[in-house]
Amino acid sequence: MVSVVLIRSGSECVVTMPPGTRLADACLQRKPSPLPLGCRKGGCGTCLVRVVEGAPGPRTEREDDFFRRTAFDRPELRLGCQLWPHRSLVLEAVISRKEVL
Ligand code: FES
C-alpha cells in the first residue's frame, strides 16, 4: 500500500491506497474528501497541491496543459487529480492561488 499525507489548513490526513490508484479516487472514498476536488480532469486547478516530500513521477499531459495556461507554474506544484502514486508522498493543498503567485 502507498500512503499519501495530505496537509490542508494545518491538519494532516493520511490516505492509503494500492500503488497506481488515482489519488482523487482514493480521496472520494472519504466524506468529506481530504483533497479539494472539482472537475477531476486537470482543468480547474481546485486540486492544486505542493509536493512537500516524495517523487510523484512526471506530469501528465493535462497537467502540462494546465500549468502552461496559468501563471503559477513551479516544479513542486501538481494537480492532485492527476496523480497515481506508486510511492508515499506528502502533499499540501494550495487553498488560495495567492499562496503560489
Ligand atoms: S479537480 Fe479540477 S484540475 Fe483537479
The CATH number given to whatever domain includes residue 18 is: 3.10.20.30
Contact 100, 80 (CB under 8 A): no
Q: What is the pLDDT of residue 36?
A: 94
Give 95 Cα–ligand 1 centroid separation in angstroms.
13
Phi/psi at 3 (5° precision): -110, 135
Ligand 1 atom nearest the C-alpha of 79 is: 4
Question: Domain count of the chain?
Answer: 1
Per-residue pLDDT in tens (0 to 9) along the chain, 101 residues? 999 999 998 899 999 999 999 999 999 999 999 999 999 999 999 999 999 999 999 999 999 999 999 877 789 999 999 999 999 999 999 977 666 65
Cell numbers found for residue 70: 496559468
Q: Return the pLDDT at 66.
A: 95
Which residue in 79, 57, 84, 53 sits closest to 68, CA to CA?
79
Whole-angstrom distance, CA of residue 35 vs CA of residue 24: 7
Tell me, using a 6 A CB cutoff, whether residue 35 lines ligand 1. no
Q: Is the CB of 27 under 6 A from ligand 1?
A: no
Domain span holding position 11: 2-99
3-state secondary structure at position 85: coil
13-37 in b/e form (b: 16+ CB < 10 A) is eebebeeebbbbebbeeeeebbbbb
Say which residue the cell 492509503 belongs to: 16
Q: What is the pLDDT of residue 100?
A: 62
Tell me the three cell numbers of residue 77: 506544484
